Every structure is written in C-alpha cells, then in structure tokens.
Chain A
Amino acid sequence: MAKQIDRLIHEPARLQVVSQLFVIEAADFLFLIRQTGLTFGNLSSHLSKLENAGYVEIKKDFIGKKPHTMVSLTQKGRRAFNAYMKAMKNVFEGLPQ
C-alpha cells in the first residue's frame, strides 16, 4: 500500500504546489508563493525536487529586464498526481464509518 503512495507528492508543501499546478496551465513564482503561502526559498527547493523527478517544467525568460520564471506540470506530473489521488482514495475505501 505504502509503495503506491508517491512520497514526492505526498509531502504537504509539494502536494499544495502540485495541486495548484494541476488545475492551471502554468504560473510564475510570485503567483505560486501567494497561493501556497510558501517562502521563495522553500518553493524553489520543492520545485527543484519536482523538476528532477520530471513532474514540473520550469521555463525562464525576461519581462523587460527582469528575470521571470514560469512553472507548469508535465504530462508525467499529471499522471503521477492522478495516480496519487487514486491511491489516496483506495487507502480509505472500505473503512467503517
């Protein structure tokens, strides 16, 4: 059972980030900070882990002269989150009320 739960997504802060990215196409750092309540450093660290796993794509460009980073969930990330939701549903299924 525990093997079915993706620990990378299961961590509360990352779960918040992935949930946010799941319902949109893409967002920048500022938007994610405001929506999740994470600090810049914290968010950056969690996104690096998700990027290394291939769950998120990070694109860097410029708005005027300022650097700007857009983050989106990859297809692999979407599949992983769908599987995570299914696994979590199964965990509690059949429990007495």
Chain B
Amino acid sequence: MAINLKEIQRQSWEQTSRDGLMEVAVGLVLLAFAVVWLNTALFVPFVAFLPFLSVPVMDRIRKRYTYPRIGRVKVPKQDPKMTVGIFIYAIAALALVATSLYFVFGEGFTTAVWYRSMPMFAGLIMLGAFTYLRSKTGSQRYVAFAVLCVASAFVFSLQDFGASMMANLTAYLSFIGCLFVLIGLATFITFVKRTPIAGAGHG
C-alpha cells in the first residue's frame, strides 16, 4: 500500500468537480456578467449578492444529485494569500494586454482598440483560473478550457461587435458563458446517468 498525499489530495479535488455543476455555475456567472455590462447600474448589487444567491442553489442541487452518488468532501478553505495572488495576476494580465496592444498598434492604440481587446483580458483571467484548477485536480479538461477561453478571446478581440464600448466583451462573455453552461449540463447528465446512487446507510 503506497500513501501519496499529493495524489490523495488531487483525487479529492477532482471529486468536487466531477458533476459538471461548477462549469454550469461559471457559465451562468459569465452570462450574468454579460447582461450586467449592458446595464452598469446593476453591477454593484449583482456582485454583492452573487455569492448569497449561487452557493445555496448549488448546495441544494448537490445534496439531491451529487452527494448521494459520490459522497461529500470539503476541501481546505482558500489561503488568504491567494486573494492577493489573484489581484496581482489580474493587474499583470491587464498590463500584458496593454503592453501587447501598444507594441502592435503603436500610435494607433486608442481607447476604442482598448475596449475592443477587453476579451483578451477576460481570457487571461480565465486562463489563470483554469491553470489553478488544473494544478489542483490534475484534470486535462481544464487545459482544454483554458485553451478554448484564450483562443476565443483572441478571435473576439479581432471582431467588431458594434459601437458600444463593452460590445466585444459582452459578446465574448455570452459565447463562453453559453458554452460552459452546455458543457456543464452535458457533464452533469452523463454523471447522473453513469453514477448510481449508493446503497442505504452510506451517508
């Protein structure tokens, strides 16, 4: 019997995202952000109430469908240092996009170009999030998600979706949001069909 704590930890993390509900939640949040960008007055209440709305709903669904099948595990709470890390990463992503645009467009780097390229910034944020999840779970699907987010961000940054400042970002978030909801639902349905409910007395 070999005890590999890192492997045990990786498997535990992997179990927490097997049901596909995380993808559905991410997709819905991105779609909600896309709607909120269209009406900025909603932004502050939306961000403030998001955790209060999403966590109980997810928990109810998991109590009904996920926990009776694979059990429940609570992974350790996020290290407070990580919040600082996320903030630094976001600033670095913003700086990277700005610097790249400056080198590509030079004098032609206007606010219009900046707004049009906002999907690249969002794509880099998603890249960071999925790289973190890949390191925790070891699951290759997060690599695919990261590639998908960055590649589509690049494509959406090259398009012109209208005069509105946030048009490109809204279109990108809508596209990625819909995609994640669909992927998540497909994963969830497959999970429910393929994983039987455990026998009585296993709670």
Contact = CB atoms under 8 A, between A and B. Distances in A.
B3 interface: yes
B77 A30 contact: no
B11 interface: yes
Contacts of A31: 15, 70-73
Interface in A6-49: 12, 15-16, 19-20, 22-35, 40
Contacts of B12: 20, 23-24, 27, 35
Contacts, number: 77
Interface residues on A, range: 20 to 34
Interface in B34-91: 63, 67-68, 70-77
A3 interface: no
A89 interface: no
Most buried by A among B5, B63, B71, B77: B71
Interface in A49-71: 63-64, 66-70
Contacts of B71: 27-34
A40 B76 CA distance: 25
18 contacts: A19-B5, A23-B12, A24-B12, A26-B74, A27-B71, A27-B74, A28-B72, A28-B73, A30-B67, A30-B71, A33-B71, A33-B202, A35-B11, A63-B67, A66-B203, A68-B72, A70-B72, A70-B74
Interface of A: 12, 15-16, 19-20, 22-35, 40, 63-64, 66-70
